[in-house]
Amino acid sequence: MEIVKANRIKNLPPYLFAAIDKMREEAARKGMDIINLSIGDPDLPTPAPIIERLKQAAAEARNHRYPTYEGMIEFRTEVVRWYKKRFGVQLDPEQEVVTLIGSKEGIAHIPLAFVNPGDLVLVPDPGYPVYNVATRFAGGEPYFMPLRKENAFLPDFSAIPESALKKARLMFLNYPNNPTSACAERACMEEAVKLASKYEIILCHDAAYTEVCFDGYKPMSILEVNGAKGLAIEFHSLSKTYNMTGWRIGFAVGNASVVSGLGQVKTNVDSGAFQAVQIAGIEALQGDQSHVEEMRRTYQERRDILVDGLKRMGLEVEKPKATFYLWVRVPHGYTSSDFSVHLLAKAGIVTTPGNGFGSQGEGYIRFALTVGKERLFEAVERMSRVGW
């Protein structure tokens, strides 16, 4: 028989990185030395105490059974402590926190809890592709909010038509931002909360990069805004903070009814995160945080090497205050894809074309700082040699 996929899969946006992937494989096969600056996954190992804690917890039989979908109360209580210390916001561990199997899991599931077919979801463009895809999976329609350089890569809320605001159930925001590495100050968060409150929109803030920050800058939580707890949920991840992307552990916090709606999806879809991983997660949050400081110093040094190098070549790029990405304007006469292909073909450097994150990403490429500094020096050297 012919195997036919469902429309929701058939209608997925085209995978824009396929051409680059193919070229990269080809170049590697020919023996070209590839510097891969396209990976949003830390190259550094998980700190040793977290691994040790996992080993112990994995050996305990009580952790071998089904976890609860909402997560261990010990993990949620530790999240509350960490949150209070980090953002000064008090949470209720019973009702305002849920453990996630990585924050992507929660982001992908939340539209199933709150979006009916035909409802709108406000989605940043460029943005993490999951917001758009998860919206469509739930039968919703994304309404794209352009993030433009003129507006510091923040949404221009005043440009969203009232008709869209009235039909919107959710709004996704993500600061510090992937892919633009922009940060949002309090005024932007307050405006978002005010707008969401006026139009009864649930605010979904993706906070995966709040701890990957430089020069003493401390990104804020949306829950620091007065009234946010009435309508917001914030997604956090241990992935980037503790180099734990493969472990699949994160959490969502915020409005109790929103958290409970997400929980209802989860009880019916998954059975929670492995308890040993949650116990290791407790170790991550409450243990010695000097690893986090070291992670910041490492990326900050890499950021400076690459930004300085790109600027010397005349490329337009800002020094980001957070995230391990650089969002770089492509030179005149190139599209995102052209420039990505050029860097790969001529210099063996893999980058991500900005249009893969949405149409507003056209004209940019994203560099990830997930390789060591020697390789970054090498990348700068090669790029200045080949030019464009």
Query: What gap in Å lies between CA 82 and CA 347, rounded to an integer?
Result: 44
Shorter beta-carbon distance to ligand PLP: residue 239 or 351: 239
Q: Distance between alpha carbon 293 and the CA centroid of its chain, in Å?
A: 20
Binds ligand PLP (CB under 6 A): choice among 110, 120, 192, 208: 208
136 sits near ligand PLP (criterion: CB under 6 A) = no
40 sits near ligand PLP (criterion: CB under 6 A) = yes
Shorter beta-carbon distance to ligand PLP: residue 165 or 180: 180
47 sits near ligand PLP (criterion: CB under 6 A) = no
Query: What gap in Å lies between CA 74 and CA 158, rounded to an integer?
Result: 42
125 sits near ligand PLP (criterion: CB under 6 A) = no
Shorter beta-carbon distance to ligand PLP: residue 178 or 278: 178
- CA 216 vs CA 83, 211, 290, 300, 321: distances in Å: 18, 11, 14, 11, 9
221 sits near ligand PLP (criterion: CB under 6 A) = no
Query: What gap in Å lies between CA 182 and CA 132, rounded to an integer?
Result: 20
Binds ligand PLP (CB under 6 A): choice among 46, 132, 178, 255: 178
Q: Are the C-beta atoms of 208 and 106 separated by less than 8 Å?
A: no
Segment near ligand PLP (CB under 6 A), from 110-118, 232-240, 313-321, 335-343?
Answer: 232-240
299 sits near ligand PLP (criterion: CB under 6 A) = no
Binding mask 248-287 for ligand PLP (x = CB under 6 A): --x-------------------------------------
180 sits near ligand PLP (criterion: CB under 6 A) = no
Q: Minimum Å distance from CB 138 to ligand PLP? A: 18
Shorter beta-carbon distance to ligand PLP: residue 206 or 283: 206
Segment near ligand PLP (CB under 6 A), from 99-107, 132-140, 210-218, 372-380?
Answer: 99-107
370 sits near ligand PLP (criterion: CB under 6 A) = no
143 sits near ligand PLP (criterion: CB under 6 A) = no
- CA 295 vs CA 239, 243, 301, 322, 377: distances in Å: 12, 9, 10, 12, 19
Q: Are the C-beta atoms of 76 and 252 separated by less than 8 Å?
A: no
Shorter beta-carbon distance to ligand PLP: residue 40 or 353: 40
102 sits near ligand PLP (criterion: CB under 6 A) = yes
104 sits near ligand PLP (criterion: CB under 6 A) = yes
189 sits near ligand PLP (criterion: CB under 6 A) = no
Q: Minimum Å distance from CB 378 to ligand PLP? A: 25
Segment near ligand PLP (CB under 6 A), from 102-110, 289-297, 309-317, 342-350?
Answer: 102-110
Binds ligand PLP (CB under 6 A): choice among 70, 96, 125, 206: 206
Q: Is 165 left (phi over 0), alpha (psi -120 to 50) or beta?
A: alpha
Binds ligand PLP (CB under 6 A): choice among 75, 82, 87, 128: 128
Binds ligand PLP (CB under 6 A): choice among 95, 245, 298, 335: 245
Query: What gap in Å lies between CA 54 and CA 365, rounded to an integer?
Result: 38
Tokens of 378: 């090498």
Enumerate binding residues for ligand PLP (CB under 6 A).
40, 102-104, 128, 174, 178, 206, 208, 237, 239-240, 245, 250
